[in-house]
Amino acid sequence: MNRRTFFRSTAALGAGFLFPAPYQRLAAAVKGKIKITDVKCMIVHGTWDWNLIKIETDSGLYGIGEAYWGWGVKDLVVNKMKDIVVGEDPLNVDKLYTKMLMQSAGAGAIGGVTMTAASGIEIALWDLCGRILETPVCNLLGGRFRDRVRFYRTMPAVEHPDDPSAWRDQVHEARSEKYKWTAFKFQGDHVPVTADPEFKEPGHDPYARNLTHTDIRRIVKGMETVRETLGPDADFAVEAHWRYDTGDVIRLARALEPVKPMWLEDPVPPDNAEAMAYVRRSVNVPICTGENLYGRQGFRKLIELQACDAVHIDVPKSGGLLESKRISDLAEMYYIWTACHNPASPVGTIASAHAASSMRNFRIHELAKWIDWWPDLVVRQGPFWENGYFTIQDKPGYGIELNPDVAKAHLAPGETWWG
């Protein structure tokens, strides 16, 4: 696919989204009558520092969203992008997203904190549009392919990876959680040199990407224990955290083939699609990657080279809902399926699930680090998950409100409730 064909195809993918036919009449009736009056950002300290965003209007309606965690996001949202969108019609979501990128990054160059901030505002805009048009957000992205979105549970690193009982205990812990997950991810990068400067096992260097025979034995033995404990048909992925060189991770992946993982995630660093393609063509374990890429251009080469089996899109990081939908549609043209990476709060998670609902070739969504009050941050009818699935409800926007008591109890230092 050449450059001209690529831009024609992605333009076509986006056509008709704003808005699908059933909502065009409603949108026309209010177009130009509602204006954005303020953009607020509030940091809640959860599994990470969650950048929660609120867009207010002169109608009294508002939308909430979330930008990817990280330094400088709130400053960019409040001190730069707020002025770009205040006074605008909130229904022009794609225009406002494009405008934020153009005025914050020169010719529209994308990536990093700029993309993160714009994505968070875009996510809040969609919630606002859903409230204005009185429909779930997924209906504004072309409609839904599914009402239920399957989730997988990411487990933390075990403290003693050489001990099979540590892996068995973790599997039993994952299986015992009340949400009855049907898929999991386990940490396959248990080389403590990255976290422990005193680690002196021969063959290691804190700046190298190598795997020793001992490392491979350690990781494979752990995953064999996971497979044995979970059973022959359970789905689980193996995380590599983009830490390894091509040759070493190919040896690891081949050694993992008998345990039949759902995928090996981020086997090599994300900035060389050719290297990722080389790994993918050398192994019989599915490769899933993409959480560190931004926008269609960031994913384009990965997809065109068919360098992975699944694109792993982080919706609040990669460009928001519409851009993620376009990435997924581009991948689907090559019969590459989509999964969602996710360290977000319930706000970003539910927004991401609405995008996943609208993607044809979507399979599964992540739930990463866990804290007991995680689902209590939002008010929502019914249980958050049932049998490992999140159900899209027929409520305007994302169908949620922030729980002020929980949010106030966990504000990051120096933060105040946005009111």
- Give pTM, 2 decimals: 0.91
Residues 195 and 311 in one domain: yes
Q: For residue 379, what is the enclosing H or E element?
A: strand 378-379
Residue 290 is part of which domain span?
148-409
Residue-level pLDDT at 364? 98
Burial class (CB in 10 A: 0-12, 13-18, 19+), 225: buried
What is residue 125's three-state secondary structure? helix
Render the burial of 75-106: b for 16+ CB within 10 Å, e for the rest: ebbbeebbebbeeebbbbbeebbebbbeebee
Beta bridge partners of 311: 289, 338
| Residues 134 and 152 reside in one and the same domain | no
Q: Do residues 84 and 205 both lie within one domain? A: no
Residues 96 and 62 in one domain: yes
39 with 162, same domain: the answer is: no
Contacts for 67 with CB less than 8 Å, ≥ 6 apart: 41, 51, 53, 73, 77, 116, 117, 119, 120, 121, 123, 316
Whole-number pLDDT of residue 205: 79
Q: Tell me 145's DSSP state.
A: S
Identify any residues that bridge with 26 across adjacent strands, giving them in sequence order. Answer: none
Residue 32 has a pLDDT of 74
For residues 287 and 276, what is the distance between their CA atoms, to the nearest angstrom? Answer: 9
Residue 277 lies in a domain: yes
The pLDDT value recorded for residue 226 is: 98
Query: 21 lies in a domain?
Result: yes
User: Within a domain: residue 201?
Assistant: yes
| Residue finishing a domain among 140, 156, 174 | 140
Same domain? 135 vs 185: no
Angle between the N-to-C axes of helices 320-333 and 93-104, in degrees from 0 to 180, rounded to the nearest 10: 100
Query: Quick check: 104 and 80 in contact, CB under 8 A?
Result: yes
- Report whether 339 contacts 315 (CB < 8 A): no
Number of structural domains in the chain: 2
Domain membership flag for residue 414: no
Beta-bridge partner residues of 158: none
If asked whether residues 252 and 398 sit together in one domain, one would say yes
The one-digit pLDDT tens for each residue of the chain (419 residues) are 544 444 344 444 443 346 676 666 666 677 778 999 999 999 999 999 999 999 999 999 999 999 999 888 999 999 999 999 999 999 999 999 999 999 887 655 567 889 999 999 999 999 999 999 999 999 999 999 999 999 999 999 998 888 999 999 999 999 999 999 999 999 988 655 455 566 667 888 778 899 999 999 999 999 999 999 999 999 999 999 999 999 999 999 999 999 999 999 999 999 999 999 999 999 999 999 999 999 999 999 999 999 999 999 999 999 999 999 999 999 999 999 999 999 999 999 999 999 999 999 999 999 998 899 999 999 998 889 999 999 999 999 999 999 999 999 999 999 999 86
Residue 115 · residue 122 · CB < 8 Å: no
**Domain presence at residue 314:** yes
Structure tokens given for 68? 């990817």
Distance from C-alpha of 200 to C-alpha of 192, rounded to nearest angstrom: 10
Could you tell me the CA-to-CA distances from 243 to 117, 139, 206, 302 in Å, in that order?
27, 39, 11, 18
Q: How far is CA 106 from CA 86, 100, 109, 304, 317, in A?
A: 20, 10, 7, 27, 19
Domain boundary, last residue among 100, 119, 140: 140
Asked if residue 177 and residue 109 are part of one domain, the reply reads no
Considering the domain architecture, whether residues 285 and 167 belong to the same structural domain is answered as yes
What pLDDT does residue 27 have? 67
Beta-strand relationship, 49-57 and 62-67: antiparallel
Q: Report angle CA 352, 129, 76 to the nearest 5 degrees.
A: 65
The number of helix segments (H) and strand segments (E) in the chain equals 16, 14
Query: Looking at residue 24, which CATH number applies to its domain?
Result: 3.30.390.10
Same-domain check for residues 366 and 287:
yes
pLDDT for res 35: 97
- Hey, which bits of 191-350 come out as E strands? 235-239, 264-265, 287-289, 310-313, 337-340
Q: Examine the domain organization and report whether 237 and 366 are in the same domain.
A: yes
In 3-state terms, what secondary structure has residue 104? Answer: helix
Same domain? 96 vs 65: yes
Token readout for 385 is 């998950």
364: left (phi over 0), alpha (psi -120 to 50) or beta: beta
